[in-house]
Structure 1
């Protein structure tokens, strides 16, 4: 399998990274079966987080006997040293290991820098041998550049797909110039991109980008393993990418969930992109009584804008909710054909 050097970490990792957020949705036996299959196929980089419920536990059970043959990356959303150490202790316990290859600040509201207590805690963990490398994840371009400016991060994890624009492309290039490993999350647009082959080919255009594919089905794993490692965008894939760019643009909800919880208990990450779901995937499952009830809940939005304050993409979420609800009802009642 082709390898990629993850920036100044000097980790030589398989070019297919495993994003372990989705396996929290699978039962223990099935999750372990997927992880075993990935390992047996040569995938060696696994990214999880304390925030991902039982994902760490599943990785720990799957890889306890082969720890030295893989790279484990986890994350903490802690904003105080006390919470940082508690999270790290728990992650090590759940993952059944005494060290992490990479530990990342997980989409917190600021960038820890040299001298900050939180940054000191991360450095101390590295000096103590509990972690080997220091990284950060964010959805905000300003924080991403702050992290690069700081000089203390060996990796940056950021949303990146063929929907990304010039700012993201410049960020990837800057990481390359600074020898900071770039880990691409949301490589499938938060689940809205349908063509995994096109996404895989796009990532191969960059020799310093490690995509972590969110995998929860054996079929998904099989797809990524089936593509040639030198697959690049060709004339058959260009129309797919251009169509997705036209349909999605940049003003769409990625489903990251950082806007939640909603004070009115609205399922924002579902409701704010329902129009896209019902056009890009089979509509019938989205028209059942349960989904209708979820969508009707959007009418209770008080426009408090707490979701907007938390949205990494600065979307006008109350307006998106209105638009998606109106469109959903038009489709449901037959006024709009799709």
Structure 2
């Protein structure tokens, strides 16, 4: 079982981190069963957020009896001091704990720093002094904010999208975090759900001694995959390298990671589903993407007014209206039989 030190926090964690966003989509019984199984198999780092509906509650119920044996990280996306404290108190209550091992600013629009006028960093430091949090981190989908954060000297960890699909900028962030002894937590390690090859994803992560991937787990079968790699770590074979290159060629850099920060849409379009429907159909042909429910979602994209609000909010600066048009056209071609999927 591989372990790493999470930067200057000195937290020694299992290389498999548990990303608890997806368990909000599972029922309580299944969620708690999965979390307990993860713990029983050595996983000791659990990442959640106030934003993830009942995720904190499910983690709290499952881990309350073993709290001293695990590391729990949560996040707040609030941008006022009053809301910061409200989020923190709610998080502690839901997780049934008196403290968090790591508390992170959650993809907010700027990098909080001392004396910046927001009071947020001072609130975080006060929470640390009170013993409610042990370490301070930040998450972002924007390279500029992530880079500013790690150079500021204010943060012990950075959580950022990182997978074998990412490019040179992301690799530079990982290297810089290692130089500064800042823990790097990799979100979207499966490309926001578009990477199918978990073995290739896991093998890629093993190349980075300072990176903690947090795998988004919703089903027990998904957990079992990553647990199996703990005992039989996959090597980066030529076959896996070819699979990675094929994915890079198919997906490129101009694809939606499904983060949802473009939402809500004024026209109630489910952007983070519709804007990558073409990829879903091809990469997961057995998924029910052609049902009446999904047809209605795709029809809704025709109501896009190109107000550009989604572009302004997208961390990856994608041309979302154009991608919606392309995905709708592609979807209709598949639906009407003009395009065949294999």
TM-score, normalized by the shorter chain, greater than 0.5 = yes
Structure 2 match to 1:51? 51
Instruction: Evaluate the alpha carbon distance shift between residue 229 and residue 48 of structure 1 in structure 2; reply closer, same or farther with a 3 A threshold.
Output: farther
Structure 2 match to 1:28? 28
Structure 1 match to 2:291? 288
| 8 Å Cα contact 1:277/1:283 also seen in 2 | no
Structure 1 match to 2:192? 190
Correspondences of 1:105-184 after superposition (within 5 Å): 105-116=105-116, 117-184=119-186
Establish whether residue 257 from structure 1 lines up as the match of residue 260 from structure 2.
Answer: yes
Q: CA deviation at 1:335?
A: 1.1
Q: CA deviation at 1:150?
A: 1.1
Correspondences of 1:178-327 after superposition (within 5 Å): 178-227=180-229, 228=231, 230-282=233-285, 285-327=288-330
Give the match's secondary structure for 1:232.
Answer: coil
The one-character-per-residue Cα deviations of 1:295-318 (angstroms, maximum 9, x if unpaired) are 000000000000000000000000
Two-structure CA RMSD over aligned residues (Å) = 0.9
* Number of aligned residue pairs: 338
* Cα separation, 1, equivalents of 2:291 and 2:141: 32
Q: Which moved more, 1:230-239 or 1:189-198?
A: 230-239
Q: CA deviation at 1:232?
A: 3.2
Q: What TM-score comes out, normalization by structure 1 length?
A: 0.99
* Cα separation, 2, equivalents of 1:95 and 1:174: 32
* Cα separation, 2, equivalents of 1:19 and 1:158: 13
* Cα separation, 1, equivalents of 2:233 and 2:333: 44
Q: What TM-score comes out, normalization by structure 2 length?
A: 0.98
* Cα separation, 2, equivalents of 1:115 and 1:31: 41
What runs of 5+ residues in structure 2 fail to find an aligned partner? none
Structure 2 match to 1:80? 80
The one-character-per-residue Cα deviations of 1:210-243 (angstroms, maximum 9, x if unpaired) are 0000001111010001114643311120111000
Give the match's secondary structure for 1:246.
Answer: helix
What runs of 5+ residues in structure 1 fail to find an aligned partner? none
Q: CA deviation at 1:282?
A: 1.7
| 8 Å Cα contact 1:262/1:307 also seen in 2 | yes
| 8 Å Cα contact 1:114/1:150 also seen in 2 | no
